Amino acid sequence: MRWSRGGGAGPVRRGPRLLLLAVLLLVGGHALLWRWAEQQMEHGLAVQVAQWRSRGWTVAVGTPAWGGWPLHARLTVPDVALSGSGGPPGGVAWTAQRVVLDVALVHPRTLVVDIAGRQSLRLGPGPALAFTAASAEARVPLVPGVPPHSIDLVVAGWQTEPPAARLTAARVSLHLEEQPGAAQGEPAVSAVLDAADITLPPAGAGRTWALGEHIASVAVEAALTGPLSRLPDPQARAEAWRDAGGTVAVRRLALRWGKLDLDGTATLALDEALQPMGTATVRMSGQAETLDALAGAHVLAPAAAQAAKAVLALLARTPPGGGRPEVAVPLALQDRVLTMGRIPLLRLPLLLWPQLVWSTAG
């Protein structure tokens, strides 16, 4: 009887020990996984910084701090500053109070980047633009051994800060995708942009926004075909892209601004003088009020506005379900002149290279 009781008590006593061992192994394994994710993020950050510096950029970051245990590997990087001569002439400079890199251990293939807070951006030789956002989050897919080629960015409560004039956007979302080594005619860079509830700064200097200071929404879906040159000079890059048959295909452009409600598609390129050219087809409503507003703000000549109104009035149709009359019209841009059918609407300013500034000359 003693032997029987002793034999039964052994498994009972071993049960808690096995459970404790399993818990310790689970916790230890989780700690190793978290540490591995931490090391991967540290390595990825170091690689990115080294790549930027190898391209001639200046990169400065504060001392990173780790957090997020137990479900996230989170790296907070303060005082981020990036500047270099890439992009437009005069270079680019971007600063941020902090950038938070986060990988959830249950979703290890997605890097979430929180870039909310005060930031500044300078494009070219002009002053830096300071801005803030209530929230700004980017998601980057992670593939082992492969650099990321796409990003999804969602920003809410974006606004500029003094001394810049106030510009706000309630919500902005952007999807960018790059195809390295894209051949002729293939999309090298694709972008989808959606923005809502935009308030423009006062125009000032006796000028006004012809359609008002509030844009209800704007959406753009476009693709830039390759191949893309990596020549350092902007004009040489533009010439190489043009000579290779480069185009920008605007698959969708939607704009709700004032009385104007517009949807359309377009194909753009550069002509022999490196000026934009292309064709578009747009469907719109509110065209009469829009043309009057553009003429009143001296964007269009009154005669051109009246001629366009007369033609559009003949082409306009009321939708089967009712509503404002709509019209579908072709647009063309050639030799810097935008035309609707055979009616010239306006002449665009000259785009100067390599300075990449707009000139009113010519």
pLDDT exceeds 80 at position 29: no
Give the angle subtended at the CA of 128 by the CAs of 125 and 210, to the nearest 5°: 90
pLDDT band with cut points at 50, 70 and 90 for residue 66: confident
pLDDT band with cut points at 50, 70 and 90 for residue 196: very high
pLDDT of residue 265: 97
pLDDT of residue 259: 94
pLDDT of residue 358: 47
Q: pLDDT digit string (tens) for 200-245?
A: 988 775 668 999 999 999 999 999 997 888 777 778 888 999 999 9
Q: pLDDT digit string (tens) for 71-90?
A: 788 889 899 998 886 555 55
pLDDT exceeds 70 at position 34: no
Range with top average pLDDT, 30-34, 57-61, 330-334: 330-334
Give the angle subtended at the CA of 181 by the CAs of 180 and 187, to the nearest 5°: 75
Q: pLDDT digit string (tens) for 3-18?
A: 444 455 555 556 666 6
pLDDT of residue 194: 98
pLDDT exceeds 70 at position 133: yes
Q: What is the mean pLDDT of the chain?
A: 84
Distance, in Å, from the CA atom of 12 to the CA atom of 15, rounded to the nearest integer, reads: 5
Q: pLDDT digit string (tens) for 233-288?
A: 778 888 999 999 999 999 999 999 999 999 999 999 999 999 999 999 999 999 99
Give the three-class secondary structure for 31: helix
pLDDT of residue 30: 46
According to DSSP, residue 204 is labeled B
Q: pLDDT digit string (tens) for 166-192?
A: 899 999 999 999 988 888 888 999 999
pLDDT exceeds 70 at position 35: no
pLDDT of residue 162: 85
- DSSP string over 146-185: B---EEEEEEEEEEE-TTSPP-EEEEEEEEEEE-TT--BT
**Structure-model confidence comparison of residues 297 and 5, the more confident one:** 297
| Least confident stretch, 27-31, 87-91, 310-314, 329-333 | 27-31
Q: At CB < 8 A and 24+ separation, what contacts does 42-50 make?
A: 42/75, 44/111, 45/75, 45/77, 45/101
Residue with tokens 């366009």: 308
| Mean pLDDT in residue range 38-54 | 74
**Structure-model confidence comparison of residues 302 and 105, the more confident one:** 302
**Structure-model confidence comparison of residues 32 and 144, the more confident one:** 144
Of 226, 333, 347, 348, residue with least CA distance to 281? 333
Q: What are phi and psi of 51, to 5 degrees?
A: -65, -45
